Amino acid sequence: MSDIAKQNLILVGNGMAGMRTIEELLKLEPEKYNITVFGDEPYGNYNRIMLSPVLANEKTLEEVMLNDDNWYQENNIRFEKGKRVTDIDRVAKKVIAEDGTELSYDKLLIATGSTSFMLPLPGADKEGVIGFRDVKDVDAMVDAALNYKKAVVIGGGLLGLEAANGLMKQGMDVTVVHIGDSLMDRQLDKDAATMLKTSLEEKGMKFLMSHASEEILGDGRVTGLRFSDGSEVDADLLVMAVGIKPNFELAKSTGLHCERGIVVSDTMQTFDPNIYAIGECVQHRGQVYGLVAPLFEQAKVAANHLAELGYGRYEGTVTSTMLKVTGISLFSAGDFIGDDDTEELLFRDVASGTYKKLILRDNIIIGACLYGDTMDGTWYFQMMKDGTNISDFRDSILFGQAHLGDAGHGDETRVAAMADNAEICGCNGVCKSEIVNAITEKKLFTLDDVRAHTKASASCGSCTGLVESLLAHTLGGDYSQAPSKKSLCGCTELTHEEVRAGIREMHLKDHEDVRKTLNWKTEDGCAVCRQATNYYLLCENPEYNDPESRFINERAHGNIQKDGTYSVVPRMFGGMCTPKDLHAIADVAEKFKVPEMKVTGGQRIDMFGIKKEDLPLVWKDLSEAGFVSGHAYGKAMRTCKTCVGDSWCRMGTQDSTGLGVKLEELTWGSWMPHKYKLAVSGCPRNCAEATIKDFGVVCVDSGYEIHVGGNGGIKVRVTDFLIKLDTEEEVLEYCAAFSQYYREDAHYLERTAPWIERVGLDKIKAAVLDDEANRKELYERFIISQKPAQIDPWKKHADGVDENQFKSIKITAA
């Protein structure tokens, strides 16, 4: 695109939110605009949340710089640094700077951020009275520390404590003045605040709590601070850190609608469609935000619309706060105080410096406050957002994820004490030092950034809490980050739910439709998203078929082994067989010289060592004998394990084998998010192990108990009881409805056990038990989806072999 065709985009404000928008825009449409950036300060874009380590001599300005002068040049951006914009002419569509510079725009982005709130005290204009917001303030504090000794910080919040800590590191005697009776009252309850105050006092910080400032003393320069009770404290330097206020005076002066900030829509547009606004200066749905995570979410949406893609929406952010104050880890989210209608779970160990409090309403977390040990903060926050009912594990929830087996993911080892070579991400083999180095050297400060550069947390996601805690620990200071949503893969920023919704609502038909319409970053996708979207497309259209986007085991209907051969498992419904069936399997084994056979735990026969080129012929013979694929290798319904029930067993209460056959006939051939197993036990002795299956039936004298969400394997999870039913017909209906709800709601490669832990059993009961009409609809959708699924691909081989299907199979694809 030539410069003549380009539009002019001007950014007013060179801070983190505005520049993140430019970075996102360059990823989407790098040639769409001639970009100009105006910044008040004589620097490039720096990480403002890292000013505290700069004050404490732990970082230099160069180390916290995000975009230096060279970056603007390399990206062909005109950078007007040290120039404050004083006027916007919306009619002529131009901006005017303080030095007279005038530039025209087609699109304007306002990101003027916020300013320090300065108390209107008598004497506030004296020398030595400053805020704590930018590099200039840091320089003033460092200079003061060289010549003076006594510092007073007004404000016992996060910013004030970080300023006080930095001044102590500079050698000053520091007193923190706070009008309230507990520190950080927006982030901590009184107990946690008391522990924090005690710890900081042990480090030498002094406090004057419940003190209302009245007058700043001194002639030309501050000498002290007088309080409303008449008492005074000496001060050579006074730092006001009582909060920030949105900086929207420029926007207001030009006629844009402002209330608490510049009012913007879900597309980050102001009331002037040519002007966007973002960051701490804006008001969205009545809210203003000061944390990094919401501002970066806004940046993605603003960039999406500046690129004229048009589908991004910002709907607000539920925030948590994970931070470090002078080396002490803190976490809070939601309502961590509670009321008469809530319950409180509390763990407190003063000696170890650990405090955990969860506020519950009807066994759902509505707030959390953690001090010292914050490793499980992101997990609590996710459950709070999802509305997870914790009834089943409330007795151990304060001990963290690591105590729940498959119910949760985590690690008892605390990230701050981990060795540098400790493995954080087992899926991708990423250790602690790799992540720390990437954060510091590449200036990363979001979970998505770490995923993109290191792959940590990019696969199964079980290490997400560790990575986020490592981010907070490494960045320190007043770093605050709400847990990022987990995108489907690196090819898209959309979650599993958003991709499924896009396919459903936009009636997308194939992979190309998905990648084009939903703005995939890569042209062909990757193995992760191709397989996941293939499954989601199949769920919406049972006739859809793209075997090339499935695992090789699913495409070949054989399980690839370590020597490159395959094992083949024909289906034996409910484990039942006849002499004729056994003869047919034996004939195939002899004909193709199968070196080894085994009866599986799923009551079938597995034939090992079959060559790839023999697979079509093996299945031809098995098909002629009446066998269909056992899907022992697929993300699909695998088996229905049964015991003999009342047909033969003196303990049996019902015909468990017959019911198992009916269930398998109902569900076989079903593509699922992951492997899916059923079982029917003829009595409560449970010989078929129904209570560790995805869907299990335990027969009793009076009917059938239905159990869901079980899992064997390394970490056993016992099923949740769903309902007691009277008839086999009801069992079949509820099985189909539950299976279909799992198919439509779970993420691809998510077993029923973690799915139920994620969404909560109450949600599943509401869909399958409480809403009869919905259950009937789920049942009907399952039956419809089974019609094409249960046409076995190997039946066609009875009259001939389609060997072409195998010519494209690559063993390495496994």
CATH code of 322-485, in short, is: 3.30.390.30
CA 448/CA 450 separation, integer angstroms: 5
Its pTM stands at 0.56
What is the mean pLDDT of the segment spanning 65-82?
Answer: 94
Question: Which residues, including other chains, have CB under 8 Å from residue 147's CB and lie 6 or more apart?
Answer: none
User: Which range scores top for mean pLDDT: 14-28, 325-339, 407-421, 450-464?
Assistant: 14-28
- pLDDT > 70? residue 435: yes
Q: Output the known binding site.
A: 643, 649, 683, 687
CB 21 within 8 A of CB 303: yes
Q: What is the DSSP letter of 704?
A: E
Can you give the pLDDT at residue 478? 36
Q: Identify the CA nearest to 367 among candidates 404, 308, 318.
A: 318
Give, for 174, the enclosing helix (H) or strand (E).
strand 173-178
Pick the more confident residue, 548 or 571.
571
CATH code of 637-789, in short, is: 3.30.413.10
Residue 568 backbone dihedrals phi, psi, to 5 degrees: -120, 135
Beta-bridge mates of residue 431: 423
Site of tokens 């770093």:
479
Model pLDDT for residues 752-802, shown as the tens digit of each residue: 988 988 888 889 999 999 999 999 999 999 988 876 655 555 444 333 344
- pLDDT > 60? residue 411: no
Task: State whether residue 109 is helix, strand or coil.
Answer: strand
CATH 3.50.50.60 fits 7-114+246-306, yes or no: yes
DSSP characters over 350-412: TTTTEEEEEEEETTEEEEEEEES--TTHHHHHHHHHHT-B-GGGTTTGGG-GGGSGGG----S
Q: Identify the CA nearest to 478 among candidates 169, 48, 114.
A: 48
CATH 3.90.480.10 fits 553-624, yes or no: yes
Task: State whether residue 635 is helix, strand or coil.
Answer: coil
Residues of the chain by 3-state class (helix, strand, coil), percent to 5: 35, 25, 40
- What percent of the chain has a predicted confidence (pLDDT) above 70? 88
Q: Which of 33-42, 311-320, 654-663, 772-781 has the lowest mean pLDDT?
A: 311-320
| Residue 121 structure tokens | 């005290």
Task: State whether residue 426 is helix, strand or coil.
Answer: coil
Model pLDDT for residues 125-154, shown as the tens digit of each residue: 999 999 999 999 999 999 999 999 999 999
CA 221/CA 241 separation, integer angstroms: 19
Q: Side chain identity at 603, as an amino acid letter?
A: Q
**Core vs surface per residue 629-665: b (16+ CB within 10 A) or e:** bbbbbbbbbbbbbbbbbbeebeebbbbbbbbbbbbbe
Residue 80 backbone dihedrals phi, psi, to 5 degrees: -95, 80
Q: Output the known binding site for [4Fe-4S] cluster.
A: 643, 649, 683, 687
Task: State whether residue 258 is helix, strand or coil.
Answer: strand
- Binned at pLDDT 50, 70 and 90, residue 1 comes out as very low
Model pLDDT for residues 142-194, shown as the tens digit of each residue: 999 999 999 999 999 888 998 999 999 999 999 999 999 999 988 888 999 99
- pLDDT > 50? residue 599: yes
Gyration radius of the chain's alpha carbons:
32
Q: What is the DSSP letter of 12?
A: E
- pLDDT > 80? residue 476: no
Can you give the pLDDT at residue 234? 96
- pLDDT > 50? residue 740: yes
CB 554 within 8 A of CB 636: yes
Kind of pairing between the strands at 320-325 and 328-334:
antiparallel
Q: Side chain identity at 722, as an amino acid letter?
A: L
Q: Identify the CA nearest to 343 among candidates 320, 366, 321.
A: 366
What is the mean pLDDT of the segment spanning 82-104?
Answer: 96
- What size, in residues, is the chain? 814
Q: Which one is the CATH code of 129-242: 3.50.50.60, 3.40.50.2000, 3.40.50.1400, 3.40.50.10860?
A: 3.50.50.60
Can you give the pLDDT at residue 731? 96
- pLDDT > 60? residue 461: no
Q: Identify the CA nearest to 185 among candidates 332, 301, 314, 61.
A: 332
Q: Output the known binding site for siroheme.
A: 687
- pLDDT > 50? residue 732: yes
- pLDDT > 80? residue 379: no
CB 224 within 8 A of CB 235: yes
Residue 424 backbone dihedrals phi, psi, to 5 degrees: -95, -50
Pick the more confident residue, 361 or 531.
361
**Core vs surface per residue 169-179: b (16+ CB within 10 A) or e:** bbebbbbbbbb
Mean pLDDT of the chain: 86
Can you give the pLDDT at residue 454? 80
Can you give the pLDDT at residue 442? 79
Question: Which residues, including other chains, have CB under 8 Å from residue 125's CB and lie 6 or more apart?
Answer: none
- What percent of the chain has a predicted confidence (pLDDT) above 90? 53
Q: Identify the CA nearest to 695 among candidates 788, 626, 768.
A: 768
Site of tokens 């619309």:
305
User: What Cα–Cα distance (Å) separates residue 394 from each residue in 332, 385, 390, 601, 626?
Assistant: 19, 17, 5, 34, 51
Beta-bridge mates of residue 629: 570
CB 803 within 8 A of CB 614: no
- pLDDT > 70? residue 415: no
Task: State whether residue 521 is helix, strand or coil.
Answer: coil
CA 374/CA 191 separation, integer angstroms: 16
First to last CA, the chain: 42
Q: Identify the CA nearest to 473 among candidates 523, 514, 519, 420.
A: 420
Can you give the pLDDT at residue 291? 78
